[in-house]
Amino acid sequence: MNPEFLLKESIAKGLEKEFSIIVAPESILLEPTRKDFEGSLTFVVFPYIKQAKLSPEQIGARIGEFCKTDIPNIIASVNVVKGFLNIVFKDSLWVDQLYTNFLREDFAQVTDGKGEKVMVEYSSPNTNKPLHLGHLRNNFLGYSISQILKANGFDVVKANLVNDRGIHICKSMLAYQKFGSGETPQSAGMKGDHLVGKYYVAFDKELKKEIESLVASGIAEEQAKKDAPILKEAQAMLLKWEQGDKEVYQLWETMNAWVYEGFNESYKNIGVSFDHFYYESNTYLLGKDIVEEGLQMGVFNKREDGSVWIDLTAEGLDQKLVLRSDGTSVYITQDLGTAELKFKDFGCKRSVYVVGNEQDYHFVVLAQILKKLNKPYADGLYHMSYGMVDLPSGKMKSREGTVVDADDLVSEMVETAKLRTLEQGKTDGFTGEQAQKLYHTIGLGALKYYLLKVDPKKRMMFNPEESIDFQGHTGPSIQYTYARISAILRKAAELGITSDLPKGETIETLNPFEISVLELLSRFPTKIREAGAEYSPSTIANYIFEVAKEFNRFYVEVSIFQETDEIKKSFRIAFCKAVAKTIKDGMLLLGIEVPEKM
């Protein structure tokens, strides 16, 4: 039985016996004891002073005494400071916890989700240009939250809704037609997505040129922006695409195929994956039947010009268009359609959308509409809204060429990892392939950790120099801790030291370093719950860093192989195993791998 729960039960019993205060054990709040006081868990008594009509110190003392006699096999001592009752567990309890809990294969598996299906939609790129830094945050967050939801007992379907149609794709296509002279990714020696992106930039350049010359000929800038011939051509091309024009369609398929090949390579390289792909070219016409449905229900209303609207003023929102007067879809129409499609395909009542916070309003509206339509999946919609990634030079803008390309960034990180590793001569005994894999693990680990350690909701700063730092609060430093432990475990195996204690043996006294690490390990399931409930990979990232940091303190202070007490030695091997497992499992929740050697 979990000692934290036993303690809560005992406190609840104590409150009742001593003060006739009835509280459910689950609702009792315990927090980790502050470092400067003795103890593992702290019960704050202030909330009960009114009912108990005694001073905080007196209440704390009486509850403490009660617990001590109630569960003497768990508690070593208690102390009361002001209104804080600090509980010191017996060292042998931690030993017991280590063997029966922390080392268990499923220690990090929470079952609260009960196998319920959840769809996590993330990545969702446009096919007119390659992935950039902002996409990386999205992809890492999406993958990580999928892992975290799985760890919470949900059955997760990872989906990618590819935006493969629209005016922006036509821009790339048109520029390719004009200036491409038939080059291909092979002939250009470029990844397909980068090649297509090149023409997207080319389009923009041409467009600017045309606008300038129009302005020079005396046309107002506003008008020139609308009248530029190349823009008109792109719009015409989109129309042709929608009419199924063979030539346009073929070009579209060819160029998209290039992009997909490029994306797949990138996805593989950054270690994210999907269970299902949706393509907007298949879904952009959906949603019209839902509009019809809404009209029938009286949720939507049709105006004279034929456009369809929903009035959300009662909800504190606005009037919102859901279908244009010409009968074509807008963004939200499509999203209504795909929400329905997702539900039909997988039956997920819960659906997580990993989408930037500039779309907060859109998702509030979407959720409201689904609710009004009485959709069974309306309440399960969650917009995992994350902040922009800023550069020291300011906001990233594709058109102004201030984006950081995802592929370039990853290779730079890997290259830096290689340099650092070679500098330190740490690849002795590695084959070339193993070394390459290590550089990738470290470089990518650094990048993922850097992007995931920050609260997703917050806008964050990407400082290129800091992100390639491998020391301190970084992924590689955690990976390094894992590699160190692995070295110990290898040596223990060589020496034939087991991690099991002889039958009937236990350890009565641990050192403070061991205890504070074990305290941390005990919080892992709670942290997983927290991360799941808050949709916050950063909770896990910061927790794992704490574990690694605390273990490192133990590592420099306490020797394992020089320990003469064989029982203690075995215990410490088990201890190392549990820490390694926690770090590994935690990092995998972030999508970060850990190396056995580095």
Is residue 486 close enough to count as binding RNA by CB under 7 A?
A: yes
From residue 41, how far is each of 31, 391, 516 by CA, in Å?
6, 41, 11
Which of these ranges, 171-179, 285-293, 360-368, 517-525, lies near RNA under the rule CB under 7 A? 360-368
Q: How far is the CB of 407 from RNA (least distance, A)?
A: 21
Which of these ranges, 105-113, 128-136, 179-187, 303-311, lies near RNA under the rule CB under 7 A? 303-311
Strand partners, 385: 355
| Beta pairing class for 41-44 and 84-89 | antiparallel
Among 459, 495, 505, 565, binds RNA (CB under 7 A): 459
Q: For RNA, which is the closer residue by CB, 155 or 469?
A: 469
Q: For RNA, which is the closer residue by CB, 160 or 329?
A: 329
Binding to RNA (CB under 7 A) within 270-299 occurs at: 280, 284
Residues 6+ apart with CB under 8 A from 245: none
Q: For RNA, which is the closer residue by CB, 295 or 330?
A: 330
Q: For RNA, which is the closer residue by CB, 156 or 231?
A: 231
Is residue 303 close enough to count as binding RNA by CB under 7 A?
A: yes
Binding to RNA (CB under 7 A) within 363-422 occurs at: 388, 395, 417, 420-421
CB 292 within 8 A of CB 308: no
Q: For RNA, which is the closer residue by CB, 142 or 185?
A: 142
Which of these ranges, 134-142, 292-300, 345-353, 549-557, lies near RNA under the rule CB under 7 A? 549-557
Binding to RNA (CB under 7 A) within 120-149 occurs at: none
Q: For RNA, which is the closer residue by CB, 257 or 361?
A: 361
Burial bucket for residue 479 (CB in 10 Å: 0-12, 13-18, 19+): buried
Q: How far is the CB of 319 from RNA (least distance, A)?
A: 9
Is residue 268 close enough to count as binding RNA by CB under 7 A?
A: no
Binding to RNA (CB under 7 A) within 305-334 occurs at: 305, 307, 318, 321, 324-326, 329-331, 334
CB 172 within 8 A of CB 200: yes
Q: 184-200: string of b/e by CB count within 10 Å (b at 16+)? A: ebeeeebbbbbbbbbbb
Q: How far is the CB of 272 from RNA (least distance, A)?
A: 21
Tokens of 25: 């054990």
Instruction: Kindly compute the dihedral angle of the four CA atoms of residues 547, 548, 550, 555, in this order, to the nearest 10 degrees.
Output: 140
CB 5 within 8 A of CB 30: no
Is residue 256 close enough to count as binding RNA by CB under 7 A?
A: no
Q: For RNA, which is the closer residue by CB, 225 or 276?
A: 225
Binding to RNA (CB under 7 A) within 138-197 occurs at: 163, 166-167
Tokens of 361: 């309003």
Q: For RNA, which is the closer residue by CB, 156 or 447?
A: 447
Placement of tokens 């506003």 in the chain: 222
Count Cα atoms within 13 angstroms, Cβ side, for 133. Answer: 25
Maximum separation of any 2 CA atoms in the chain, in Å: 94
Q: Which of 443, 129, 171, 445 is nearest to 262 (CA)?
A: 129
Is residue 37 close enough to count as binding RNA by CB under 7 A?
A: yes
Could you tell me how many residues make up the chain? Answer: 598
**What is d(CA 224, CA 207) in angstroms, rounded to the nearest whole number?**
10
Which of these ranges, 170-178, 229-237, 301-309, 582-590, lies near RNA under the rule CB under 7 A? 301-309
- Give the Cβ contact number of residue 538 at 10 Å: 20
Q: How far is the CB of 187 from RNA (least distance, A)?
A: 31
Among 17, 53, 82, 268, binds RNA (CB under 7 A): 82
Among 26, 36, 433, 508, binds RNA (CB under 7 A): 36
Burial bucket for residue 406 (CB in 10 Å: 0-12, 13-18, 19+): buried
Is residue 29 close enough to count as binding RNA by CB under 7 A?
A: yes
Is residue 300 close enough to count as binding RNA by CB under 7 A?
A: no
Q: How far is the CB of 84 from RNA (least distance, A)?
A: 3
